[in-house]
Amino acid sequence: MKKLLITGGAGFIGANFVHYWANEYPEDRLVVLDALTYAGNRNNLAPVEQHEGFRFVSGDILDTALVETLLREESIDTIVHFAAESHVDRSISGPDAFIETNIIGTHSLLKAARQVWITEGRCPVQHRFHHVSTDEVFGSLTPEDPAFTEQTAYAPNSPYSASKAASDFFVRAYHHTYGLNVTTSNCSNNYGPYHFPEKLIPLVILNILHGQSLPIYGDGKNIRDWLYVSDHAYGIDLTLKKGRVGETYNIGGCNEWTNIDIVQLICQLMDTRFAHDDILRRRFPKSPAAGGVASNSLISYVADRAGHDFRYAIDTATANEELGYQPKVSFEQGINLTLDWYLSNEQWWRSVMDGTYQQWIEQQYKVA
């Protein structure tokens, strides 16, 4: 039986990971530590609230004393560290929070783990600190470049990716210097349920429903490698089971799309749903598709993101060979599951789209 501390477990990927783990390993203890920032939502954990081994702690990873107490009183043997500021656009308008949470917060967690697991000698052998990182630390690819491998040199371009790169290096240093058992995964773009609607895919879905413009940065030709979120959880699970301590693993979808193609696809899928569903047309009368007008009429090219990385792509050969990792959910399945989830969970997305968030979104999307 494992005892996990999951930081950022009330956010998008963290919550999906908690659901995955509770389902796969019902005997395990799951302690979620989350500061419930704008991106964290206690309701994301509703499916596991009644789970016997589940505990939620509202708190900050910067609170080293709190983390140490949790590690001791829960006899935690595994930390899975998701907590972060995660949105690139926010890092451009306000980098400080990214330095605070992603760098200092990760270091604070590492200090607590070292204190309890190594200095105090609790759980000395099988402990694991798994750090959830991103492919953005590798910088940007041209269309011809090979995909990122674990050997690709770090070249972060945004304050977000720079803060994640710094945190990756601290994790590495705590292994080499203090002998902490660490692994790191660098993953590509996730999508799926509970994705906060400031990110491209959920933003497009909800803006179609509301008849609001679909902002495409620059020429829309930038490329991302999309992975259904439960496959990220699966990749972390395999890394915990089979990953070599001190190593990093690239996890991705091998599923590259330009932004404009992905937006066009979502428009088409939504149009089809509206065409066959009278209730949907009545629920969302402001959507152009409710009146038989194509959703892509909402597409609007806006000013590009500053320093916008052109392309990310992940080479998953190491994860395939060492961990036996292969994504299980095809993009066709995943995107349809995602649309279904947003259409069935109106209460969830209404509750996260509060006034502050709405104001921030309006500031961001000034049509060019």
Under rule CB under 6 A, residue 187 binds ligand NAD: yes
Angle at 352 between CA 86 and CA 339, to 5 degrees: 85
- For residue 119, give every residue at least 6 positions away whose Cβ sits within 8 Å of its Cβ, in sequence order, or none: none
User: Residues 234, 323: contact at Cβ < 8 Å?
Assistant: no
Under rule CB under 6 A, residue 168 binds ligand DAU: no
Structure tokens at 16: 């999906």
R_g of the chain computed on alpha carbons = 20
Listed residue (81, 83, 112, 82) closest to 97, CA to CA: 83
The binder of 22, among ligand DAU, ligand NAD, none, by C-beta within 5 to 8 A per type, is none
- For residue 320, give every residue at least 6 positions away whose Cβ sits within 8 Å of its Cβ, in sequence order, or none: 326
Under rule CB under 6 A, residue 117 binds ligand DAU: no
Helix, strand, coil tally for the chain in percent (to 5): 50, 15, 35
Exactly one of 54, 82, 117, 228 binds ligand NAD (CB under 6 A); that residue is 82
The residue assigned the tokens 């090979």 is 146
Q: By Cβ distance, which residue is nearest to ligand NAD? A: 11
β-pairing, 189-191 vs 128-134, is unpaired
Question: Is 160 in the active site?
Answer: yes
User: Which is the catalytic residue, given 34, 89, 135, 231?
Assistant: 135
- For residue 24, give every residue at least 6 positions away whose Cβ sits within 8 Å of its Cβ, in sequence order, or none: 237
Residue 357: how many CB atoms within 10 A of its CB? 15
Under rule CB under 6 A, residue 216 binds ligand DAU: yes
Listed residue (69, 89, 47) closest to 357, CA to CA: 89
Question: Is 135 in the active site?
Answer: yes
How far is the first Cα of the chain from the last one, in angstroms, to the nearest whole number? 55
Exactly one of 41, 44, 86, 250 binds ligand DAU (CB under 6 A); that residue is 86
Indicate the residue among 44 and 296 with the shorter CB distance to ligand NAD.
44
Over the window 156 to 175, marking each residue x when it contacts ligand NAD by CB under 6 A and - when it does not, the resulting string is --------x-----------
- Considering only residues 224 through 243, tell me which ones interact with ligand DAU, judged by CB under 6 A: 224
- Considering only residues 2 through 31, tell me which ones interact with ligand NAD, judged by CB under 6 A: 7-8, 10-14
Residue 66: how many CB atoms within 10 A of its CB? 16
Over the window 172 to 211, marking each residue x when it contacts ligand DAU by CB under 6 A and - when it does not, the resulting string is ----------------xx---------xx--x--------
User: Which is the catalytic residue, given 34, 77, 85, 136?
Assistant: 136
Exactly one of 77, 135, 237, 256 binds ligand DAU (CB under 6 A); that residue is 135
Residue 323 corresponds to which amino acid?
L
Exactly one of 30, 88, 141, 289 binds ligand DAU (CB under 6 A); that residue is 88
The residue assigned the tokens 């999307």 is 365
Indicate the residue among 101 and 222 with the shorter CB distance to ligand NAD.
101
User: Which is the catalytic residue, given 160, 191, 342, 365?
Assistant: 160
Half-sphere exposure of 220 (CA within 13 A, CB side): 13
The residue assigned the tokens 């194509």 is 294
Under rule CB under 6 A, residue 64 binds ligand DAU: no
Under rule CB under 6 A, residue 48 binds ligand NAD: no
Closest distance to ligand NAD from the beta carbon of 314 (Å): 10
Under rule CB under 6 A, residue 184 binds ligand NAD: no
Provide the 3-class DSSP secondary structure of residue 132: strand
Over the window 243 to 272, marking each residue x when it contacts ligand DAU by CB under 6 A and - when it does not, the resulting string is ----------------x-------------
Catalytic residue IDs: 135-136, 160
Residues that bind ligand DAU (CB under 6 A): 86-88, 134-136, 188-189, 199-200, 203, 215-217, 222, 224, 259, 305, 312
